[in-house]
A and B are shown apart, each in its own frame.
Chain A
C-alpha cells in the first residue's frame, strides 16, 4: 500500500514542477516525471502476492504469475510519452532560437 502512495507523491512532485518552474526545460522534466510515475503505478497494480515474472519457459510451470496485461499497456504508454517529449524538446529549441530565452515569463507575445 505504501508503494502506491509513493507513486502518487512522485506524481505530485512532477505536477509541482509543471506548475511552478519558470524554465521551459524544467517544465518538460516535470511532465516526464508525471508520465513515468503513472506508468510505475500501473505496473504495480498488476502485482500478485508471491508472483513471478510472466515469462513462459520450458522449465517452469504456468502458475503464480503477476498480471502481464499492465506491462504491455505500460510499454505503449512509455512510447507515447517519448514521442511527446521529443516534440516538446524540438519546440523548446526553436523557441530559444526565436526569443533568446528559456524563461516563460518573458515569452508573452500572445495576450488577452
Chain B
C-alpha cells in the first residue's frame, strides 16, 4: 500500500490515510444504520462512505484500487439501490396504502425497530455512496474528447 510512484500525495498523507480511512467508512455505516435514532440517515451516511473512497483515490493517485471501479459496475449498483428503495415502498401495498410502514415496530430506542425506515436508509445509503463516487470518477478520470466522435 505504501507506493513510491510519482502520482498521489506525500508520504505523511499516505501513511495517515492508510490508518484512518477504515474508521471513516465505519463511521459512515454507523450513521446509515442508526438513522432512526440519531441525526443523519441514508444521505449523510452515504456521503461519508463515498468520501472515504475519494480520500483513497486522492492520496494514492489515479491507479489506486477503487479508481479501477468500472462505470458499468457503479451504474448497476446504483440502479440496484434505487430498485431496493422502490421495492420497500411497494411493500406498503400489503397493508393498504403505498409506502406504509409494514414491518413490526419494536420498542423505542432499539436498533431493530421502526419498521421499514432502517431498510430505506440502507438502500439510500448504498445509492448515494456509489453515485457520488461515480460522479467523482467521471469528473476526474475522464476520457478526452476525440475529434469526430
**Are chains A and B native binding partners rather than an unrelated pairing?**
yes
Q: Does A29 contact B (CB under 8 A)?
A: no
Decide if the interface of chain B is mainly helix, strand, loop or mixed. loop
Contact bitstring A43-63, B, C-beta under 8 A = 1, else 0? 000000000010111100000
- B124 to chain A: closest residue by CB: A79
Please give 11 more A-B residue pairs, beta carbons under 8 A apart, in addition to A58-B108, A79-B43.
Answer: A53-B39, A55-B38, A57-B109, A75-B41, A75-B43, A86-B135, A86-B139, A90-B139, A93-B139, A93-B142, A97-B144
In the complex, chain A residues whose CB is within 8 Å of the CB of B41: 75
The total of Cβ contacts below 8 Å across the A-B interface reads 22
- The B-contacting residues of A in range 20-62, CB under 8 angstroms, are 53, 55-58
In the complex, chain B residues whose CB is within 8 Å of the CB of A98: 145
Number of chain A residues whose Cβ lies closer than 8 Å to a Cβ of chain B: 14
Asked if residues B139 and A55 are in contact (CB atoms below 8 Å), the reply is no
Residues on A lying within 8 angstroms of B by beta carbon are: 53, 55-58, 75, 79, 86, 89-90, 93-94, 97-98
Asked if residues B145 and A89 are in contact (CB atoms below 8 Å), the reply is no
- A53 to chain B: closest residue by CB: B39
Bound CA–CA A98/B147 (angstroms) = 10
Chain A proximity of B115: nearest CB distance (Å) = 16
Asked if residues B138 and A97 are in contact (CB atoms below 8 Å), the reply is no
Bound CA–CA A53/B43 (angstroms) = 20
Bound CA–CA A38/B117 (angstroms) = 28
- B128 to chain A: closest residue by CB: A79
- B140 to chain A: closest residue by CB: A93
Task: Provide a sorted-by-A list of 20 A–B residue pairs whose CB atoms are within 8 angstroms.
Answer: A53-B39, A55-B38, A55-B39, A56-B108, A57-B109, A58-B108, A58-B109, A75-B41, A75-B43, A79-B43, A86-B135, A86-B139, A90-B135, A90-B138, A90-B139, A93-B139, A94-B145, A97-B144, A97-B145, A98-B145
Chain A proximity of B126: nearest CB distance (Å) = 15
- B43 to chain A: closest residue by CB: A79
Asked if residues B109 and A89 are in contact (CB atoms below 8 Å), the reply is no
Bound CA–CA A86/B108 (angstroms) = 39
Chain B proximity of A19: nearest CB distance (Å) = 26
Instruction: Please judge, given known A-B contacts A55-B38, A97-B144, A97-B145, whether A89 and B43 are in contact too, CB under 8 Å.
Output: no
